Amino acid sequence: MMLERNMSAHSVEAYLSDVQKLADYLLDSYPEVLPNQVELSHLEHFLGFLHDLGLGARTQARILSGLRSFFRYLILEDSIQIDPTDLIEGPKIGRKMPEVLAYEEIEQVLSRIDLSHPQGTRNRAMLETLYACGLRVSELVNLQVSNLFLDVGFVKVIGKNNKERIVPIGDSAIKYIRQYLDHDRKKLPVEPSVSDYVFLNRRGKPLSRVMVFNIVKESIKNAGIKKTVSPHTFRHSFATHLVEGGADLRAVQEMLGHESIVTTEIYTHLDINYLRETILSFHPLNNS
């Protein structure tokens, strides 16, 4: 199985550990049951046992995933005819809602960037672009000048697996990108090999992901915002604000570069939470 699925040693060790947990449980609770005799009821009791041990839903789901692989292997080896994991329902895992900045907080962050600082215009242009286009940090640091079509208000983004997408960009972001490209960036010692990268450090090299994280962290601190914010927060905020404003979910999916609309649907949940908080905050019966 390790060779067939090209698994890492760490993955194999994890799977073996999952199977061993089941084997230990069967030895104590059903000593007469062999691995090729395991039925659905045994697995259901095993998951109940894991729950009683205090293991969280994610850990239970991971163990069950390992067991599914084990029983699929037994099927392939003709050791069993029926996979007992086929009908088992995994534990429900709540989806963690990402942190989002309110529009007023976005404005606060952008307005507090010191444009008199040597890298101030670059930082403003960078954060404007993160929010205006909903980019991943990897997409931001690899953004190319040749992929900017500012006259018509679009940028071409190279996303995961080198998939290209066209994303609209707003006037404010365009303004600061142009200001950065026409003035501050021209003062940098840029080598021809990296001349097409939009955002550069003061040595004329492309920005690293870590540098972008540090710039965001510093900008959030200067704005006096206490939330835990990363570059990805601007992407979440972009999508959430679009959905709150009534944007079509398919359009948001295209702009984010999501393979599946299921991934994009998390922002509808955020929108529901936003609506609920609004009702609780402003409905007259909740203010008594």
Tell me which residues are annotated as active site.
Answer: 136, 160, 232, 235, 258, 267
Q: Token pair of 248, please?
A: 């079509």
Name every residue whose Cβ is closer than 8 Å to that of residue 77 and which is 6 or more positions away in sequence: none
Helix residue ranges per DSSP H, 77-119: 103-111
Q: What gap in Å lies between CA 282 and CA 241, rounded to an integer?
A: 20
Indicate if the alpha-carbon torsion angle 255, 260, 264, 265 is positive or negative: positive
Nearest CA-CA partner of 140 in 157, 153, 152: 157
Name every residue whose Cβ is closer than 8 Å to that of residue 117 and which is 6 or more positions away in sequence: 123
**121 alpha-carbon distance from chain centroid:** 27
Q: Which residues of 3-28 are buried (b: 16+ CB within 10 A; e: fewer)?
A: eeeeeeeeeeebbeebbebbeebbee
Beta pairing class for 148-149 and 164-168:
unpaired
Q: Which amino acid is at 2?
A: M
Q: Would you call 197 helix, strand, or coil by DSSP?
A: strand
Q: What gap in Å lies between CA 58 and CA 167, rounded to an integer?
A: 35
